Amino acid sequence: MSNILKVFNFTFSQLLKRKSNIITFIIMALIMALGLPIASLFLDGTSSGVIEIGSEALTIQEYLDKGAANFETEYAVQYGYSVFLMMVTIIAASYIIRAIVEEKTSKLVETLLVSIKSKDMILGKIFAVMVYVLIWLGALFTIFKSSQFVSGKLFDLGVVDELIKNKGISLDILNLGFETVVVIAVSFVLAYLFFAMLYALAGAGCSSTEDIESASSAGTFSILIGYFATTILLPIGSKGIVYATSLIPIISAFGAPINFIMNKIGWGTLAVSWLIQALMIFLLYKFSVSVYDALILYKGKRLKLGDIIALSERKGK
C-alpha cells in the first residue's frame, strides 16, 4: 500500500505541474463560467412553453405530469451520458499513457521498478489520474453552478431553461436521487478502471512520445465501440438489445446505467453487468502485471496488442 501511495503522490504532483493540463483546465473553466451568460444574451424569449407530441399539444407541466420519459428524453440522456463518459475516459486515459511514456523515456521508471513492484506502479498511476480527473470535474461543476447563480441575478435565464424543456427533456422525469447517483458513480468507476488498464498496457509498449498517438488508438477504438453501439442501437428498443447493451463488456459501460435509470433493467441485471465488468478489469489487471516489467524495460518499435500477447505467452512457458 505504501508503494502505491508513493506512485500516487508522484503521478498526482506531475499532473498538477504539467502546463498543458493547466491550460486545458483554464479553457474549460472559461467555457463553464461564460456559457450561460453568453447563451442568455443571444437567445430571445419567444418560446411558447408548449410541447407538441404527435397531434397532441401539451404544456410543459402537463408533459412532465405524465411521469414517464419519452423516446426523445431517453435518447438525449443516453447520448449525453455516452458523450460524457467517452470524453472523460479518453482525457483521463491520455494522462495515463503520457505519464507512463514520459517516465519510460526519461528512464525514471527503471529506477522506480527497483523498489516498487509493477502492480503497485499500475494501480498508483490509475488511482492518481482518477482522483485528478474527479477533482477537475468537481471544480468545473462548481464553476458552472457559481456561474448559474451569478448569471441568474444578472440575466434572464428563463429562456435557456424553457428551451431545454421544450425539447421534452427534464431531470424531473429521470427520478434522480441517491440511488441514481450511486449507479452512475459505480458504473463510471468500473468503466474508467477498464479503459485505464487498457491504456496503461498500451503506454508500456511505447518507446518514445511519438508513439503515444498510435498507441492510444486501440483504447480509443474500444471506447468508440461502446459509444456508437449504445447510441445507434437505442432506437431499436427490443428486450434483446437492452440486455445486450447491459451485459456485453465495453458496451455495458455505456448502456447498463442508463437502461437501469430508464427502468428497462432491474438491480439483478445491473449487478450481473457490474460483476462481468469487474471480472474483465481483474483479468486485464493480471495480464498487465504479468508483462508490465518486460514492457517497461523494452526499447524499440512500438509493441501492438498482438506483440504484447505473444510476449505474455513466451513468459508463461
Question: Could you tell me the pLDDT band of residue 173, with boundaries at 50, 70 and 90?
Answer: very low
Q: pLDDT digit string (tens) for 285-295?
A: 888 887 877 77
Share of the chain above pLDDT 70, in %: 76
The domain in which residue 59 lies consists of 2-29+50-316
Q: Is residue 39 part of a domain?
A: no
Domain count, the chain: 1
- Torsion over CA: 124, 129, 134, 136 (sign): positive
How far the first Cα of the chain sits from its last, in Å, is 30
Query: Where is 230: in which H helix or E strand?
Result: helix 212-233
pLDDT at 270 over 90: yes
Q: Is residue 16 part of a domain?
A: yes
Q: Is residue 18 part of a domain?
A: yes
How many beta carbons lie within 10 A of that of residue 154, not counting itself? Answer: 9
CA distance 266 to 283: 26
Question: Could you tell me the pLDDT band of residue 43, with boundaries at 50, 70 and 90?
Answer: low
Compute the average pLDDT of residues 112-141: 83
Cell numbers that stand for 161 in this block: 431553461
Q: Mean pLDDT over all residues of the chain?
A: 77
How many beta carbons lie within 10 A of that of residue 286, not counting itself? Answer: 10
Question: Could you tell me the pLDDT band of residue 262, with boundaries at 50, 70 and 90?
Answer: confident
Q: Is residue 37 part of a domain?
A: no
Contact 68, 85 (CB under 8 A): no
Q: Which amino acid is at 192?
A: Y
Contact 303, 279 (CB under 8 A): no
- Torsion over CA: 153, 159, 160, 166 (sign): positive
Question: Could you tell me the pLDDT band of residue 161, with boundaries at 50, 70 and 90?
Answer: low
pTM above 0.85, yes or no: no
Q: Is residue 41 part of a domain?
A: no
Question: Could you tell me the pLDDT band of residue 4, with boundaries at 50, 70 and 90?
Answer: confident
Q: Is residue 174 part of a domain?
A: yes
Q: Is residue 307 part of a domain?
A: yes
- Note the pLDDT of residue 102: 76
Q: Is residue 45 part of a domain?
A: no
Closest CA to 216 of 228, 204, 227: 204
Judged by average pLDDT, the poorest of 27-41, 88-102, 210-224, 287-301 is 287-301
How many beta carbons lie within 10 A of that of residue 243, not counting itself? Answer: 19
Compute the average pLDDT of residues 13-21: 86
- Note the pLDDT of residue 70: 61
Q: pLDDT digit string (tens) for 57-95?
A: 444 344 344 444 466 667 777 888 888 889 888 888 888
Q: How far is CA 127 from CA 15, 115, 121, 162, in A?
A: 12, 19, 10, 40
Question: Could you tell me the pLDDT band of residue 8, with boundaries at 50, 70 and 90?
Answer: confident
- Note the pLDDT of residue 75: 74
Closest CA to 200 of 215, 221, 187, 188: 215
Percentage helix, strand, coil, to 5, in the chain? 80, 5, 20
